[in-house]
């Protein structure tokens, strides 16, 4: 009898995911349910959307694509996209680069890893650039660098505040040195914006690494970040092997960066729009947006 009971219990156990388990996995209907990548809680997609794609169980901020971010941040129906016609070439003849680029476009529904344009936030006109990690891991090639540079220049000409939401795996290796050049180009454009007294708010989202964090990412007059976002230059393993020291667990999180002065404020997604409005308001004098410092 005890044996039966044990067997029954065993039978009722939910099988754990295993490489040896070749039974078909129970499919979650696409678009209906989502699993939190951090705590594994399954949530209704609609519920998660209502919560701005933040896990209601553990507070993990799921990654957003550029379009979702724009919709969440700007005033409704107020977005005019810039430079939709800039496309990458393959100057180095990198094997399969063009093919991969087309695959990324089909997969993400985006033309490139950044969308730039203008809209209003709380009634204030702004220039925004929003990166997407789901396009080539948000890597910065010549198109990303060019679109960001033009957005910076437009912000300067129109005297609008500039907001850049970053997320990136770094430079786009298929464009090699032409990718690395974008670091200098975007930084030089920001220096001009700074001299002209423009306001630039940089927002780090998960993850922002490599050439993007080391150029326009860290150059904000105000650097904000979403909770838990990974923000850094080189990866943990590379640093540990180079300095031959173990790094703290929370190393390169937004919170760690704030504690050490790299980031001014960690802002939960639900407060991001209002925080941006408040910051722009604070830097606006009689209708003119000016740099505070």
Binding residues for Zn(2+), by number, are 36, 39, 55, 58
Asked if 152 is part of the footprint of Zn ion (rule: CB under 5 A), the reply reads: no
What is the closest distance, in whole angstroms, from the C-beta atom of residue 57 to Zn ion in the complex? 5
Q: Radius of gyration of the chain from Cα atoms?
A: 22
Please, what is the minimum distance in Å from the beta carbon of residue 168 to Zn ion? 24
Q: Give residues 18-47 in contact with Zn ion (rule: CB under 5 A).
A: 36, 38-39, 41
Beta partners for residue 124, in sequence order: 121
C-alpha 176/C-alpha 103 separation (Å) is: 20
Beta bridge partners of 288: 285
DSSP 206-268: EEE-HHHHTTGGGG-SEEEE-TT-BB-SS-HHHHHHHHTSPPPTTTTBHHHHHHTTS-SEE--
Q: Which is nearer to Zn ion, 42 or 191 (CB)?
A: 42
Quick count: other Cβ atoms within 10 Å of Cβ 23? 7
Q: How far is the CB of 232 from Zn ion (least distance, A)?
A: 23
Residue 60 beta carbon to Zn ion: minimum distance, rounded to whole angstroms: 4
Binding residues for Zn ion, total number by CB under 5 A: 8
- Could you say whether residue 48 binds Zn ion (CB under 5 A)? no
Name the segment binding Zn ion (CB under 5 A); options: 53-61, 118-126, 159-167, 281-289: 53-61
Contact segment (CB under 5 A) with Zn ion among 58-66, 69-77, 100-108, 129-137 equals 58-66
Pairwise CA distance, residues 213 & 204, whole Å: 8
Residues lying near Zn ion in the complex (CB under 5 A): 36, 38-39, 41, 55, 57-58, 60
């Amino acid at each position: 009898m005890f044996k039966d009971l044990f067997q029954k219990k065993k039978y009722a156990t939910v099988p754990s995911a295993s490489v040896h388990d070749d039974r078909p996995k129970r499919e979650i209907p696409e678009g209906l349910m989502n699993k939190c990548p951090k705590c594994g809680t399954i949530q209704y997609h609609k519920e998660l959307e209502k919560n701005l794609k933040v896990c209601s169980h553990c507070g993990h901020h799921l990654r957003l694509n550029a379009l979702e971010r724009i919709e969440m941040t700007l005033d409704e129906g107020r977005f005019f996209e810039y430079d939709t016609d800039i496309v990458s070439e393959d100057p180095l003849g990198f094997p399969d680069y063009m093919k991969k680029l087309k695959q990324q476009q089909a997969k993400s529904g985006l033309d490139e890893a950044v969308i730039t344009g203008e809209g209003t936030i709380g009634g204030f006109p702004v220039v925004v650039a929003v990166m997407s990690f789901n396009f080539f891991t948000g890597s910065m090639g010549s198109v990303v660098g060019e679109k960001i540079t033009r957005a910076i220049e437009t912000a300067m000409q129109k005297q609008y505040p500039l907001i850049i939401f970053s997320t990136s795996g770094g430079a786009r290796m298929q464009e090699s040195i032409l990718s690395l050049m974008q670091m200098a180009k975007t930084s030089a454009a920001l220096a001009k914006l700074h001299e002209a007294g423009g306001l630039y708010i940089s927002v780090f989202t998960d993850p922002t690494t490599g050439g993007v964090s080391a150029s326009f990412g860290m150059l904000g007059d105000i650097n904000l970040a979403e909770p838990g976002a990974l923000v850094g230059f080189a990866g943990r393993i590379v640093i540990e092997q180079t300095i031959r020291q173990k790094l703290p667990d929370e190393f390169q999180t937004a919170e760690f960066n704030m504690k050490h002065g790299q980031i001014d404020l960690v802002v939960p997604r639900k407060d991001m729009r209002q925080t941006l409005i408040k910051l722009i308001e604070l830097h606006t004098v009689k209708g003119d947006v000016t740099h505070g410092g």
